[in-house]
């Protein structure tokens, strides 16, 4: 069975109490049965009034009860349909005035709920941020039946929603959009001064030393991995006599040993002159990146070339696709811990909302302004939607819905009318007998 069909089988509700057509129908039969009983009593006691005065009171009660019950039956029936199918004027009020009722409901909604001043006044006394914080900070609990709390449902639903959104979007198009956005922001960013300030800050805090040590180690490993190439270069550069005597090998070994020794000394001695030269060069580079127009222009040109390089675009597309697939997998995997991470994050957010009064004020002000803006901009559209929706209902639909919601109470009116009418009739009979 389809979900819509399942929902259509659920009973209507009003004020949280289930109200079905059967209950309204039972009350209708009760009221009608009481009216019929009064008619039977009236007929049965009509000839007994001479036997005893009490029968006169009973007959008067039944007679007036019939009149009151019939009057209320007519009034209740006239709200929804023509009594006995007769086109009596001013009956079938709801079906005949369906469009006017829709406009009245929409206008009532507009004037009492969607006016900006009303929305602002109602929300001024609401601390939405604190309420949200209390909800989010509440520890997740599991019920006796194994059900999880609302916050767990939110995190699970958010993870599934994230996975579905990432799957539904075109990977290539989304990747291109993200890449274009990053490229646009990178193009606006002046990298040279930022890099210069980073170099100065790093050197001021003496955090550049590990970088120099790493560079020295990298240089040593590079020389070690390419010793044969370096020996061939030295062999080709020396004179033929040296090659004939075999001194070229000695020279190449001396050069390589000297390089290894130099790098080892730089690595061990923090005050080595070569290390000082490197630091001097870094300081000059930091100054040039911030203040030298030519250096800044070269860096900008390198940045533009890097952004425009197709290889970078291909690399980013691959990175983005791996990120997307990883997020989908983690969101769908209950063992990945993403749900727990989201719960922890929501809990921390809730605690921050509870503790920070300034944050509460900002969020409440944002929520109030948002709702006032929504009511100002879209209030008319909401009202129109309500009005047009009710107008599109056929007369039978709107009659059935209203009657199902309040029909039981209307039948109580008939019952009360029957009883009250009988009491009034009996009172009048007493007054007539006394006079």
C-beta pairs of 275-281 under 8 Å, 24+ apart in sequence: 275/212, 278/212, 278/215, 279/203, 279/208, 279/212
pLDDT at 376 over 60: yes
What is the predicted pLDDT for the residue at 241?
A: 41
Stretch 111-135: mean pLDDT: 81
pLDDT band at 5 (very low <50, low <70, confident <90, very high): very low
Stretch 174-202: mean pLDDT: 77
Retrieve residue 352's tokens.
């921050």
Q: What are phi and psi of 310, to 5 degrees?
A: -60, -30
Q: Which residue has the higher pLDDT, 1 or 232?
A: 232
Tell me which residue has tokens 């890449």: 179
**415 CA to centre of own chain:** 49
Sorted by sequence, the CB contacts under 8 Å of residue 388 that are 6+ apart come out as 102
What is the predicted pLDDT for the residue at 142?
A: 45
pLDDT at 96 over 60: yes
Tell me which residue has tokens 């349909």: 81
pLDDT at 238 over 70: no
| 3-class DSSP state of 310 | helix
Stretch 125-141: mean pLDDT: 76
The pTM of the full predicted model, rounded to 2 decimals, is 0.41
């Amino acid at each position: 069975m389809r979900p819509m069909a399942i929902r259509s089988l659920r009973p209507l509700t009003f004020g949280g109490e289930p109200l079905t057509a059967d209950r309204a129908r039972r009350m209708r039969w009760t009221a009608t049965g009481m009216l019929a009983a009064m008619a039977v009593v009236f007929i049965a006691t009509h000839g007994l009034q001479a036997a005893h005065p009490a029968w006169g009171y009973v007959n008067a009660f039944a007679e007036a009860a019939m009149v009151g019950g019939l009057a209320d039956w007519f009034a209740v029936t006239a709200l929804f349909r023509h009594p006995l199918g007769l086109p009596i004027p001013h009956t079938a009020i709801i079906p005949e005035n369906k469009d006017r009722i829709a406009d009245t409901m929409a206008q009532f909604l507009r004037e009492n709920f969607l006016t900006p001043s009303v929305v602002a006044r109602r929300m001024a006394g609401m601390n939405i941020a604190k309420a949200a914080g209390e909800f989010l900070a509440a520890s997740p609990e599991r019920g006796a039946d194994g059900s999880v709390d609302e916050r767990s449902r939110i995190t699970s639903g958010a993870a599934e929603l994230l996975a579905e959104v990432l799957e539904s979007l075109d990977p290539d198009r989304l990747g291109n959009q993200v890449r274009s956005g990053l490229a646009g922001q990178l193009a606006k960013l002046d990298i040279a001064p930022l890099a210069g300030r980073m170099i100065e800050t790093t050197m001021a805090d003496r955090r550049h030393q590990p970088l120099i040590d790493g560079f020295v180690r990298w240089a040593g490993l590079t020389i070690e991995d390419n010793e044969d190439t370096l020996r061939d270069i030295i062999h080709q550069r020396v004179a033929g006599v040296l090659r004939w005597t075999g001194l070229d090998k000695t020279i190449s070994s001396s050069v390589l040993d000297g390089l290894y020794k130099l790098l080892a000394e730089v690595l061990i001695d923090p005050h080595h002159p070569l290390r000082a030269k490197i630091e001097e060069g870094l300081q000059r580079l930091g100054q040039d990146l911030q203040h030298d127009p030519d250096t800044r222009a070269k860096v900008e040109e390198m940045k533009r070339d890097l952004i425009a390089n197709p290889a970078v675009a291909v690399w980013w597309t691959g990175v983005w696709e791996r990120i997307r697939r990883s997020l989908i997998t983690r969101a769908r995997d209950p063992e990945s811990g993403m749900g727990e991470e989201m719960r922890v994050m929501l809990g921390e957010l809730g605690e921050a909302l509870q503790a920070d009064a300034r944050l509460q004020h900002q969020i409440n002000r944002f929520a109030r302004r948002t709702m006032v803006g929504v009511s100002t901009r879209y209030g008319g559209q909401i009202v129109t939607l309500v009005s047009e929706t009710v107008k599109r209902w056929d007369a039978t639909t709107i009659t059935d819905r209203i009657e199902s919601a309040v029909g039981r109470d209307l039948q109580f009116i008939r019952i009360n009318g029957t009883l009250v009418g009988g009491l009034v009739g009996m009172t009048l009979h007493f007054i007539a007998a006394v006079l």
